[in-house]
């Protein structure tokens, strides 16, 4: 089963290498692509290592135990705290970190509290996607857009803050309407686990406290991420060498992403941009922005949000149009299980916890969320940009 999970990433990487070797991806285009994407991939690897080690140090468990205490036995208040955790984790650590690390701790918290886990599980994955618009570090698509626009983190947030707010508030409202009965009532006291190694926990927490402002300081994000990963590796070599394992490296996402980069660039070199220019529209009026965002959301659910962004990036020929595209590919992947890597990783974690997801119900709820959230976010972008 584990070998099977590597077939798609390995196949995509092989396809990218074949495109390069056969000339479908010209060497100059590959060099330009590598110069742009290697720093992004370095950030992805470093942040994956950071979040895995923070989890092993016990930080996420401590946070959820504090949430359970702050909830004071009220399910609705506990859910609001989980909303806050999922949002902060997504904004500052990325959607994949939320899907992989926050999901199991909040689902187990719900199970132990005898609360239906589905509202907590669905809240986590919806916000992992829809809260991933505000900062470059929140989503790989944002990092690529930031590089294209040459914006600082603050300037990037200034461009997308209004649709980012919609992307958080509208799904929260829909989730409450759908699960308000499950979110009523009370829960009992939760057990508190003692930290296995307090020195490691406090040291890792300190690294986290220093890392978060560094990621939004304007310094290229791969540098603080790599530095934090190096410090944490040193701490684990000192305190808990046995916890370090090769599986901490995100091999499958790395292979899949690298292959997608090369395949989509090869398609651009062979006429994809010209084809998409005819269906993506042009201009910055509201209908044009809705058209581009809708195309991005549809493409994300059809193939995956990363190739959807890469394919459509050239038609996002202004900051506002690129922001509209990000709305589609970030807020839109709520319908199909493959629409984002985060959703696939989330499902793997739920399956390991024996929590079943019915994809039909997931898709129906996701369609309702996308139909409401994406257009409202585009309208917010249009108004905030002073387009009227």
| Whole-number pLDDT of residue 388 | 54
| Whole-number pLDDT of residue 310 | 86
Task: With cut-offs at 50, 70 and 90, classify the pLDDT of residue 387.
Answer: low
Task: With cut-offs at 50, 70 and 90, classify the pLDDT of residue 207.
Answer: very high
Q: Which range, of 64-68, 82-86, 189-193, 379-383, averages the lowest pLDDT? A: 189-193
Task: With cut-offs at 50, 70 and 90, classify the pLDDT of residue 375.
Answer: very high
Q: How far apart (Å, rounded) are the C-alpha atoms in residues 114 and 116?
A: 7
| Whole-number pLDDT of residue 2 | 60
Task: With cut-offs at 50, 70 and 90, classify the pLDDT of residue 180.
Answer: very high
- Does residue 42 carry a pLDDT above 80? yes
| Whole-number pLDDT of residue 36 | 84
Structure tokens at 336: 């199909």
314 Rama sector, left if φ>0, alpha if ψ -120 to 50, beta otherwise: alpha
- Please give the full DSSP string across 19-63, using - where no structure is assigned: HHHHTSS-HHHHHHHHHHHHHHHHHHHHHHHHHHHHHHHTHHHHH
- Does residue 39 carry a pLDDT above 90? no
- Does residue 359 carry a pLDDT above 90? no
Residue 58 burial by CB count (10 A; 0-12/13-18/19+): exposed, middle or buried?
A: buried
- Does residue 1 carry a pLDDT above 60? no
- Does residue 352 carry a pLDDT above 80? no
| Whole-number pLDDT of residue 257 | 82
pLDDT average, residue stretch 90-100: 87
- Does residue 236 carry a pLDDT above 80? yes
Residue 242 burial by CB count (10 A; 0-12/13-18/19+): exposed, middle or buried?
A: exposed
At which residue do the structure tokens 């989503």 appear?
139
Please, what is the average pLDDT of the chain? 89
Determine how many CB atoms are found less than 10 A away from the CB of residue 11. 13
Q: How far apart (Å, rounded) are the C-alpha atoms in residues 35 and 278?
A: 29
Task: With cut-offs at 50, 70 and 90, classify the pLDDT of residue 334.
Answer: very high
CA dihedral over 65, 66, 72, 75, signed as positive or negative:
negative
| Whole-number pLDDT of residue 353 | 77
| Whole-number pLDDT of residue 93 | 84
CA–CA distances in Å: residue 78 to residues 66, 187, 191, 192: 10, 9, 15, 16
Task: Return the higher-pLDDT residue of 380 and 8.
Answer: 380
Inter-residue contact 135 to 151 (CB < 8 Å): no
| Whole-number pLDDT of residue 3 | 63
What contacts 43, CB < 8 A, 6 or more positions away? 137, 143, 221, 222, 225, 226
């Amino acid at each position: 089963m584990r070998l099977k999970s590597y077939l798609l990433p390995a196949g995509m990487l092989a396809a990218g290498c074949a495109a390069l070797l056969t000339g479908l991806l010209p060497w100059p285009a590959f060099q330009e692509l590598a110069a742009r994407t290697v720093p992004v991939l370095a950030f992805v690897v470093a942040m994956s290592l950071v979040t895995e080690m923070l989890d092993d140090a016990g930080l996420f468990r401590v946070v959820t135990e504090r949430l359970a205490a702050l909830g004071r036995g009220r399910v609705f208040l506990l859910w609001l705290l989980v909303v806050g955790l999922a949002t902060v984790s997504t904004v500052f650590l990325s959607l994949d970190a939320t899907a992989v690390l926050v999901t199991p701790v909040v689902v187990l918290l719900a199970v132990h509290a005898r609360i239906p886990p589905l509202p907590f599980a669905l809240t986590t994955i919806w916000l992992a996607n829809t809260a991933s618009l505000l900062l470059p570090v929140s989503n790989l698509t944002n990092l690529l857009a930031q590089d294209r626009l040459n914006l600082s983190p603050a300037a990037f947030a200034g461009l997308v803050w209004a649709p980012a707010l919609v992307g958080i508030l509208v799904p929260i409202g829909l989730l409450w309407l759908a699960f308000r009965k499950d979110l009523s009532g009370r829960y009992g006291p939760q057990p508190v686990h003692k930290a296995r190694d307090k020195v490691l926990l406090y040291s890792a927490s300190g690294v986290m406290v220093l890392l978060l402002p560094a990621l939004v300081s304007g310094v290229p994000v791969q540098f603080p991420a790599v530095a934090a990963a190096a410090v944490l590796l040193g701490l684990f070599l000192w305190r808990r060498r046995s916890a370090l394992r090769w599986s901490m490296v995100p091999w499958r996402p790395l292979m899949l992403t690298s292959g997608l980069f090369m395949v989509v660039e090869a398609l651009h070199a062979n006429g994809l941009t010209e084809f998409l220019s005819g269906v993506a529209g042009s201009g910055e009026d509201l209908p044009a922005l809705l058209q581009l965002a809708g195309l991005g959301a549809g493409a994300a659910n059809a193939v995956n949000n990363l190739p959807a962004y890469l394919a459509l990036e050239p038609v996002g020929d202004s900051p506002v149009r690129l922001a509209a595209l990000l709305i589609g590919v970030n807020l839109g992947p709520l319908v199909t299980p493959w629409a984002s890597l985060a959703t696939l990783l989330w499902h793997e974690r739920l399956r390991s916890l024996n929590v079943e997801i019915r994809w039909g119900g997931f898709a129906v709820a996701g369609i309702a969320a996308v139909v409401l959230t994406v257009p409202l976010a585009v309208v917010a972008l249009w108004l905030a940009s002073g387009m009227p």
